[in-house]
Structure 1
Amino acid sequence: MIAYALTLLLALAAGPLAAQEQPSAAAPAQPPAGATLLDTIKQAAAKAERLLPEAQEVLAAAQQKLARPDIDAAALDALRVELDALRQKLLEERKQLAEQMARVQAQLAVLGEAPKDGAAEPPDIAAQRQALEAVSSRLKAVDGKLGLMVVEADQLTAQAAARLRAQFFSDIFAPARSVLNPLLWREGLETLPLLGQRLVVLLNGWQRNDTMGGTRLTAVAALFVGAFVLLVLLWRRWRWPMEHSAALTDMHRLWRAIKVALLALLLMLALLVLVSVIMRGFGLPSPRIAALFDALATAAMFTVVVAAMARGIFRPRAAHMRLVNIDDAGARRAYRTAALIAFLAGADIVAGALSEILFLPVAFTVAWGAAFVLAQAALILRLVFVVRKATPLEDEGQATRRFFFIFARYLVHPVLLVVLAAVLALLPGYIALGHFIITQLIVTAVLVAALYLVHHLADELVRAALNARTVTGRFLRQGLLLQERTVSRLGVAFSTIVDIAIVLVGIPLVLLQWAVNWTDLRIWAQQVFFGFKVGNITIEPAAILLAIGVLIAGIVLARLLVMWLDRRVLARTEMDSGIRHSITAVARYAGFVAAFLVALSVAGFNLTSLAIFGGALGIGIGFGLQTIVNNFVSGLILLAERPIKVGDWIRTSGGEGVVRKIKVRSTEIETFDRCSVIIPNSALISEPVSNWYHASRMGRIRLTVGVSYDADPDEVRDILLACAKEHPRAVAYPEPYVLFTGFGDSSLDFELRVYIDDAGLLSSVASDLRFAIFRRLKEAGIEIPFPQRDVNVRQLPPELLDHVAKEADSGAE
C-alpha cells in the first residue's frame, strides 16, 4: 500500500509535465484563418466521424471480455472505468455536434423555406441552402450513431455492474461448515503449522536473496524496533492531557481528541514511508514481501489511529477532557475494549493477506473468519454494555459542560441486531457473510465517530471565530459594520456549508464499506452532477449550481450598487427620503431581475421561451395569482406615483402609523404603539388613505377652550393668540386665529386654530398649548367653569324623612 502511494505521488507530480509535453488528442483542430462557418461545421462532423471506429473497437472489446466466464472483479471494474470514459467522450462529442447543429438551423431559419410550386430562387441562395441541408443531414447521422454507442456503452456498463454484484454475493454467501461443527475448528488448527512453515520459507527466501549477507533484514528489523520505541515515547508525551482550568472549552477538548489521532496517523505514515524507502534502497522486495509489508502497514495504521481516537474520546486518565459522560472506571474499560477491537481488526487484515500470500487452504480462512466474528461480536457487546452501565461523572463543572455522542444511545438496538445477524450467519455456515457484516460495522463506526468529531469541532471553530473578542469577530463587527444578527447568520451559513461538506464526504466513505466501489461512486457522481434525464428533459445539477452561484453573486452586486447609489450619490443631493427610497427600490428590483435573467441564461434556459412561460403565467394569474399580481402592480404604482412615501404618517382602514417599508407586495406601517401592520399594496391604491405628509409636513391644531360668562371675550382671544404665537413650532403663515364658537350651558366656548411646521408633533404641541393657556388664564383670573346642575326632590320616603329630622335635631343640640 505504501509503495503504491509513493508511486501514485510520483505519477501525480509527473502528470502535468507529461501533459505539457504531449499535445491533447481530444482538442479540436483549429480551422485555418479565412475558413467559413460551414467549413468549421464540416470539420466538427469529420472529427465526430473519426471517433466512431475507435468507439466501436472499445465496445467490441468490452463485449468479448464480458463473454468470458472467468473474468474477475478487478477486470470488471477496469472495464467499467473504460466504458465510462468512452461514454463521457461520446457525450462531449454529441454536445459539440448539438452546438454545430444549432448554427446550421439558425442559418436555415434565416434563409426561410424553399420556394414552392416551381418558383425560382437565386442560384447562390439555392447552393447555400443545399450545402446547409447536406451538412445538417450529415450531423444528424453522426449524432444518431453516437447516441446508439452511448446506449450500448450504458448497457455494457450495466452488464459489468451486474456481474460484479453477482460475484460479490456469490463470495459472501458461499456456504461452509457451521461453527457448531467441530471439523471447522480442527481443520483450521491443522493449518497453523503450515502457516508457520510457509512464512519461514518466505522470510528465508528473502534473506537468501539478500546480497548484503542479511544486512537488509537486520536493518529493517532494527528500524522497526527503533520506530516502535520512538512511537511509544511520543505517545507517552502526547497522551498527557491539558491541566484542568476554567479556560478549557469544548473546542479544546474536541481538538485534543482529534489531535491525538492525527499525530498518530502522521507518525505512522512517516514511519512506514521511511521503512519503504529503506527497503527500496536495499533493493526492491519481492511482490510477496511487498504485499506482506503493505498488509502489516495497513493493520498497524488502523490499529494505532483507532486506538488513539478511542483514547481521545474516553480519556481514561483525564475526566475533565472526556467527551462522554461516564466515570473513570467505565472509561478505562471502554478504552481497552475499543483498543482490543482495533487490534483484532488489524490482525484480520494481516491474516487475510497471509492467506493470499502463502496460498493457505480455505480451512484457515474459514476458521479464522469464524473466530474473528465471534471475538469481535463479544467485544462489541462488552463495549455497548460497559458504556450503558457506567456511572455518570460527578464534578463541579458538569452543569455547564457539554458531552458528545449522545446519539449513540439510539443506535444500541440497531448495533445489537447487526451483531446478532453476523453471529447467526455463522450457524448455517455463511462465514464470509458474518465476517463482512462485522468488519463493515467496525469500519463504519470508526468513520461515523471521526466525522462526528470533525462536525462538532467545525461548529466550535466557527463559533469561536465569530466571537466578538476574536480578531475575526471584531473585523466583522467594526470593520464591515455587520450587525449581531448578520454575524449570527454567517455562523449558521458556515456551519451549514461544513455540514454539507462532511455529508458529501462521509456518505461515499460509508457506502464504500457496503458493496459499493469507487467506480460506482464516480459514475453516480458524474451522472448526477453533470446531467441526467427525466423523460425527455435533461437536468444538469452542475449548471443549476452555477446558476445559483451567479444569482447569489448578482444579488450581492445589486445590493452593493444600490448601497453605493444611496450613500454616495443620493445622500449628497439632499433629496427627500421618500424619493430616495423609491429610486433605490426601483434600482434594487431592476438589479434582482437582471441577476435572475443572467442566472437563467447560465443554467441553459433559452430566454426566447419566456413567451411560453408568460402564457402559462397568464393562465396562473387568471386562476389564482391575480391577487398577488394586483399587489405587485400596486407596489410599482406606489413607487412611481408616490402617493405615500417611506416616513409618511398615514391612516388607512388597516391602521394608522408611519410608513417604514414599501415592498413589491405589501407596505409595512409602524403604529405609535410600535406595532408593525402589513397592508397589501392594492388596499393603498383602491381605498381612501389619509396622508399628513403628502404635500407638506405642516399640520393644524384645533383646541377647544371654555371660560366663565364673567370673562371678557376679547381678553380671552388675546391670551389664546399670545400662547399660540409664543410656541416655537407655530408658523407665522398661515397665522393662528381664534373662533368664538358659541354660548354653552356653563361657559363661553372658543376654538384656537394653530398651524405648526411638523404634523408629527400635533399631540405634543397641543399639550404644550394647553399647559400655557391654563397658566395664562389663571394668572388673568379667568375661570374655566365646569357644568353645574340643580336637583329638585319632590318626595322622600318616610323612613328617610325621619332620619333627616333626627340628624337635624342632633345638629341643633
Structure 2
Amino acid sequence: MSLLFSRCCAALLAIFILLPTLAQGANADAPASASSAADAKAPEVTIAELRANFSKIPVTADNNDDLRQLLSQTNVIAAQVDEYLKLHTAPLADMNARLGELGAAPTAPGTTEDPDITRQRASLTKERNALDADVRLARLLAIDAEQRGNDLVAQRRKLFQAQLTARAPSPFGGQFWLNLGDAWPDDIWRLRELAQEWGEGASVAMRADNRPAVLLSCLAAVLMALLCNWLAEWGLVRMAARFLPAGRLRRSLLVIAIVGTNVLLVGLAAQWLHSVLDSRGALGPQVRKVAQSIVAAAIFVAFVIGLGRALLSIRRPSWRLPPMSNAVARSLASYPWLIALVGVVVWTPSQVNAVVDASFAAVLATHVVTALVLTALVTIIVFRLAPGHAHAQAPAPSPSPAPAPTPVAQGPDGAPPEAAEASASRPIWVGLLLGVVMVVVVAIWVLVAVGYVAMASFLAMQLAWGGIVAAAFYVLFKFADDLFSAVVSSTSNFGQRLQRTLGLQPQTLDQAAVVLSGLSRIILFFYMIVALAAPLGSGPDEVFRRGGQFGTGFKIGEFVLEPGAIFSALGVAFAGFVALRVLKQWLALRYLPSTALAPGMQSSITRLLGYVGGILVVAISLSALGIGVNKIAWVASALSVGIGFGLQAIVQNFISGLILLAERPVKVGDWVVLGTTEGDVRRINVRATEIQLGDRSTLIVPNSEFITKSVRNMTLSNAEGRVLIRLPMPLSTDAKKVRALMLAACNKHTEVLPTPAPSLTLEGVEGGALIFQAIAFVSSPRVAGGVRSDLLFEILDALREENLPLSVPTMVVATEARPSVATPSENPLAPLPS
C-alpha cells in the first residue's frame, strides 16, 4: 500500500510539473506530429547528412523569432549528434578491444600467421578506421553546434537588450498617436485578411460533410473541459478523503491533482478540437497560428484557474494550504478568473501582431496596453491583500446574543483548519515584498510615461509571471514538506517499518525527514529562480533546459563541483550507511550470537566494524564527489598541523579506544576499578568509555586513562566475585564454635557458590581480640556487596543467639585530678571561709 501510495505521489507530481508543456506542444503543426512518428521508423542519419543540415542553418537573423527558430534547429542537430555518439562510442571501444586481442601483425622475417586472423584483423581495422573517423567528425560537429548555439544566444541577448533600451514616443505625446494613426490603415488591412481567412475556414467547417464532426467535436471539447473537469475534481476529493492517509499530505496532493487534471483535460480538449478543424481543412496558414495560440492560452487559463481555485479552496476551508481567513479567500474567489482573462487579453494581441506582421506602432501600442493592464491587475491584488482591506471584508460583529457554539470543522488531519487559526498579523517579509512590488509598478508607469514601453511591458509581464511561478512553487514547497513528513518521519507507517527493520531511533527519522525536506526545498528554489528568469509562458522543458546549463558544475579553486556528482555522493552515502546498518544488525542479532564469543567481544567487533565501515563509506562518497585519495591525503596532511597542536588529546583517546577494542584489556561488561571508581563497563566509544557505578550513575572516562594508568579488572580472567568478612572476637571465645556458625551462614546463602567452597581462617590476635576472616565466592562482583550484607546479618544473629559477643575495642580515657574544695579564685561565687 505504501509503495502504491508513493508511486501515485510521484505520478501526480510529474503531471503537475510537466503538463503545461502541452502549451508548447500546441505550437507545433499537426502534420509535424504525424511526421515525428514516421521519423521514428526512418533510417539513422549519417554524420555527412547532419553536417549538411548544419551548414544550411544561417548564422545570423534580424528578429527574435528567427533567432529562436535557428537556435531550436541547432539544438536539434546537437541532440542528434549526442545520440550518434552514444550509439557509436561503445562499438568503437569494442572494436579496439578485439583488435587488441588479435594483436599486431607479425613483422619478424620468416614468421607467418593464420590467414583467417589476417583477414579478420584487416576487416576490423577497416571498420574501426571508418567508425573512428565518423566519431571524430561527430565530436567536431558537436563542438561547432555548441559554439553556434552560444553565438545565437549572444545575438538574442544583444537584440533583446537593444529592444528593451530603445526609446519610443511617449503615449502622452502626440507623436505616438500620429504614428499609430498613420499605420492604422495597413494594420486594418492585415486584420481583414486574417478575418477573411477565418471566415473561409468557418465556411469550410460548416459544410455538410464537415458540420456533424465539427459540432460534435466542439460539444465534446466543451463537455471535457467543463463537465469532465467538475466530475474529476469531485472524484479526486472523495478519493483523497477515503484512500489517502490522514495528515497534511492529502491537502497538498489534492491541489496538485486538481491542477494537473484541469490542465490535462482542457489541454486534451483544445488540442483535439484544433486537430479536428485542421484535418477538415478549416484552418488556413494564418488562422492555424492563431489557433495554436488559442490552444496555448486555454492551457494557461486552465493552469491559472485551477491553481487559484485549489489554493483558495472556498468550498473546503479545512483543506486550504495558505494560512488565509475565509473572508479573504472569498474576496479573492474571482481573481483566478480575472488573472486568466487578463493574461489572455494581453497575450492574444501580441500573437496576432506576430501572425499578421503588424506595424511597429501597433507593437508599441500593444506594449503600452500590456504594461498598464498587468500593473493595474497587480495593484488591485496588492490592495486586496492589504491587512486593512482584509479586515474590512470580515463581517461586523452582531449585537445580538451569541448563538450556541457549533462544532468546528475538522481538517484533513483531524485538527482545526489552518485558515481558521490564521492570525491577523502576517510576517514582515510579506509586507516588504508587497512594498517592492508596488515600487516596481510605479517604475513601470514611469517607463511608460517617458517612452520606454518595451522595457515597461517586459517588467510587467515578468511581474505577473513571477506571481504565477511563486504560487506554483509554493504548492511544491508544501508538498515536499508534507511528503517527507508523511513518509520518512517516525509517526508514518514507513518510518515505523524502518525503526523495526533497521533499529533506527525516532529522532533519527524525524531529523532525516527535516533534512530531506530542506534538500528538496533547495532544489525547488533553484528551479524557481530559473523559472523566474525565464520569459512569460515558458514551459517546464524550457525551465529544465535553462537549469541544465548549470549542470556542468562550477569551480571552487581547483575543485569542480557538479550537481550530478553531489547527488551521486549523497546517494552513495545513503546506500552505504544503510547497508552498513543492515550488516551490523545481522552481525549483532544473527551471526555473532551463534558463535562462542563473549557478549562483550561481540559488541566490540560490531562497534569496530561500524567505525571502519563508516570511514570507507565516507571515502567512497568523497570519491563519487570527485575528491580522490590524493586530495584526501593533502587535506589530511594539512590537518596534521592542527592535530599536532590542538587535537593531541582527542587523537590519543581515539587511538586508545582502538587499542581497547583490539587488545580487549577492558571490554564491555567488565567490572573495573580505576582509582576510587568501581563499576561496570557499559560502552567503549571512540573517545571515552562509559562506566556505570553502583548508584546507577554513569562516569565517562577518557580512553587514555585505561592505557596509561593502572586498572584493576575484576572480571578479566575470572568473572566470579569474592566476599570478605573480618570479625574481632574476645580471647575467651570458642573459636571452633564461631567457625562452625560463620561457615553455616555462608553455605546457607543461595548466592554463595559451592565451588570453590567458603573458607574461614583465624588471622591472629590484634589488640587483644581474635580476628576471624571468612571468604565466600559469588557469581559476579556486582552481587558481592549485597551478599556480604546478608551474611553479616545472619552471622550477627547467630552469634547473639549463642551468646558469643564481639570484641569491644579497649578505650583509654585520661581524666585530670581536681581538688575537692574550690579555692576562691576557682569559684568566685562561693562564700568565704570563716
TM-score by length of 2: 0.71
Equivalent-residue separation in structure 1 for 2:597 and 2:142 (angstroms): 64
Q: 1:350 maps to which residue?
A: 348
Q: 1:201 maps to which residue?
A: 196
Contact 1:2 1:276 in 2 (8 A): no
Cα deviation digits, residues 249-291 of structure 1 (max 9, x gap): 5444444444443343233123213322432342351232222
Q: 1:215 maps to which residue?
A: 211
Cα deviation digits, residues 741-787 of structure 1 (max 9, x gap): 68788987655433222122233333333443444344444556699
Equivalent-residue separation in structure 2 for 1:320 and 1:803 (angstroms): 98
Q: What is the root-mean-square deviation of aligned Cα atoms in Å?
A: 5.8
C-alpha displacement of 1:537: 6.7
Q: What does 1:584-603 align with in structure 2 at a 5 Å threshold? A: 584-585=606-607, 587-588=609-610
Kindly tell me: are residues 522 and 340 of structure 1, through their superposed partners in 2, closer, same or farther at Cα, counting changes over 3 Å? closer
* Letter of the structure 1 residue corresponding to residue 373 of structure 2: A
C-alpha displacement of 1:166: 0.8
Match of 1:177 among 161, 169, 181: 169
* Letter of the structure 1 residue corresponding to residue 758 of structure 2: P
Q: 2:369 maps to which residue?
A: 371
Match of 2:600 among 562, 572, 578: 578
Match of 1:402 among 405, 418, 423: 418
Cα deviation digits, residues 644-691 of structure 1 (max 9, x gap): 222223344796543344455554545556665555544433333332
Cα deviation digits, residues 123-182 of structure 1 (max 9, x gap): 999xxxxxxxxxxxxx99999999998876665444322211111222233322334336
Equivalent-residue separation in structure 2 for 1:645 and 1:416 (angstroms): 70
Contact 1:185 1:367 in 2 (8 A): no
Equivalent-residue separation in structure 2 for 1:652 and 1:566 (angstroms): 29
Match of 2:450 among 428, 442, 459: 428
Kindly tell me: are residues 788 and 347 of structure 1, through their superposed partners in 2, closer, same or farther at Cα, counting changes over 3 Å? farther
Equivalent-residue separation in structure 2 for 1:11 and 1:680 (angstroms): 75
* Letter of the structure 2 residue corresponding to residue 289 of structure 1: V
C-alpha displacement of 1:4: 3.8
Kindly tell me: are residues 372 and 55 of structure 1, through their superposed partners in 2, closer, same or farther at Cα, counting changes over 3 Å? closer
> What's the secondary structure of 2:418's corresponding residue?
coil
C-alpha displacement of 1:441: 2.1
Q: What does 1:97-108 align with in structure 2 at a 5 Å threshold? A: none
Cα deviation digits, residues 167-222 of structure 1 (max 9, x gap): 12222333223343366578779959939756643422323455716838766766
Equivalent-residue separation in structure 1 for 2:218 and 2:475 (angstroms): 36
* Letter of the structure 2 residue corresponding to residue 624 of structure 1: I
Equivalent-residue separation in structure 2 for 1:54 and 1:503 (angstroms): 42
- 1:81 lines up with 2:75 in the alignment: yes
Kindly tell me: are residues 366 and 85 of structure 1, through their superposed partners in 2, closer, same or farther at Cα, counting changes over 3 Å? same
* Letter of the structure 2 residue corresponding to residue 761 of structure 1: V
Contact 2:201 2:281 in 1 (8 A): no
Cα deviation digits, residues 444-463 of structure 1 (max 9, x gap): 22222222223323433444
> What's the secondary structure of 2:170's corresponding residue?
coil
Equivalent-residue separation in structure 1 for 2:383 and 2:316 (angstroms): 22
TM-score by length of 1: 0.73
> What's the secondary structure of 1:693's corresponding residue?
coil
Contact 2:683 2:691 in 1 (8 A): yes
Equivalent-residue separation in structure 2 for 1:437 and 1:233 (angstroms): 36
> What's the secondary structure of 2:722's corresponding residue?
strand
Q: 1:294 maps to which residue?
A: 292
C-alpha displacement of 1:301: 3.0
Higher relative CO (Cα under 8 Å, sequence separation at least 6) belongs to: 2
- 1:168 lines up with 2:122 in the alignment: no
> What's the secondary structure of 1:411's corresponding residue?
helix
Equivalent-residue separation in structure 1 for 2:218 and 2:369 (angstroms): 30
Kindly tell me: are residues 7 and 77 of structure 1, through their superposed partners in 2, closer, same or farther at Cα, counting changes over 3 Å? closer
Unmatched 5+ stretches in structure 1: 27-50, 112-120, 126-138, 806-813
C-alpha displacement of 1:233: 6.5
Cα deviation digits, residues 206-244 of structure 1 (max 9, x gap): 234557168387667666766676479759968999999
Q: What does 1:44-123 align with in structure 2 at a 5 Å threshold? A: 65-66=58-59, 72-78=66-72, 81=75, 85=79
Equivalent-residue separation in structure 1 for 2:498 and 2:701 (angstroms): 35
Contact 1:512 1:518 in 2 (8 A): no
Q: What does 1:262-661 align with in structure 2 at a 5 Å threshold? A: 262-283=260-281, 285-316=283-314, 319-389=317-387, 390-391=390-391, 401-402=417-418, 408-409=430-431, 411-465=433-487, 472=494, 475-476=497-498, 484-485=506-507, 487-489=509-511, 491-492=513-514, 495-496=517-518, 498-499=520-521, 502-503=524-525, 505-513=527-535, 528-529=550-551, 542=564, 545-546=567-568, 549-550=571-572, 552-585=574-607, 587-588=609-610, 617=636, 621=640, 624=643, 627=648, 631=653, 633-652=655-674, 657-661=679-683
Equivalent-residue separation in structure 2 for 1:804 and 1:616 (angstroms): 93
> What's the secondary structure of 1:702's corresponding residue?
strand
Equivalent-residue separation in structure 2 for 1:197 and 1:654 (angstroms): 105
> What's the secondary structure of 1:659's corresponding residue?
strand
Kindly tell me: are residues 191 and 623 of structure 1, through their superposed partners in 2, closer, same or farther at Cα, counting changes over 3 Å? same
C-alpha displacement of 1:299: 2.5
Contact 2:725 2:774 in 1 (8 A): yes
Cα deviation digits, residues 471-511 of structure 1 (max 9, x gap): 64665556776653455355446545654564465444333
Q: What does 1:713-792 align with in structure 2 at a 5 Å threshold? A: 715-738=737-760, 751-782=773-804
Contact 2:318 2:417 in 1 (8 A): no
Equivalent-residue separation in structure 2 for 1:366 and 1:563 (angstroms): 72
Contact 1:299 1:347 in 2 (8 A): no
Contact 1:80 1:161 in 2 (8 A): no
Equivalent-residue separation in structure 2 for 1:78 and 1:148 (angstroms): 19
Cα deviation digits, residues 393-417 of structure 1 (max 9, x gap): 9996799543589674553233333
C-alpha displacement of 1:376: 2.9
Contact 2:232 2:261 in 1 (8 A): no
Cα deviation digits, residues 517-569 of structure 1 (max 9, x gap): 98986676666546677787766654564455345434433443444344333
Equivalent-residue separation in structure 1 for 2:237 and 2:576 (angstroms): 52
Equivalent-residue separation in structure 2 for 1:630 and 1:484 (angstroms): 33
* Letter of the structure 1 residue corresponding to residue 418 of structure 2: R
Range with greater deviation from structure 2 (459-468 or 294-303): 459-468
Contact 2:731 2:770 in 1 (8 A): yes
Equivalent-residue separation in structure 1 for 2:30 and 2:670 (angstroms): 69
Contact 2:317 2:417 in 1 (8 A): no
Contact 2:608 2:661 in 1 (8 A): yes
Equivalent-residue separation in structure 1 for 2:575 and 2:491 (angstroms): 30
Percent of aligned positions with the same letter in both sequences?
24
Q: 1:688 maps to which residue?
A: 710
Q: 1:159 maps to which residue?
A: 151
Kindly tell me: are residues 231 and 699 of structure 1, through their superposed partners in 2, closer, same or farther at Cα, counting changes over 3 Å? closer
* Letter of the structure 2 residue corresponding to residue 66 of structure 1: V
Equivalent-residue separation in structure 2 for 1:93 and 1:257 (angstroms): 42
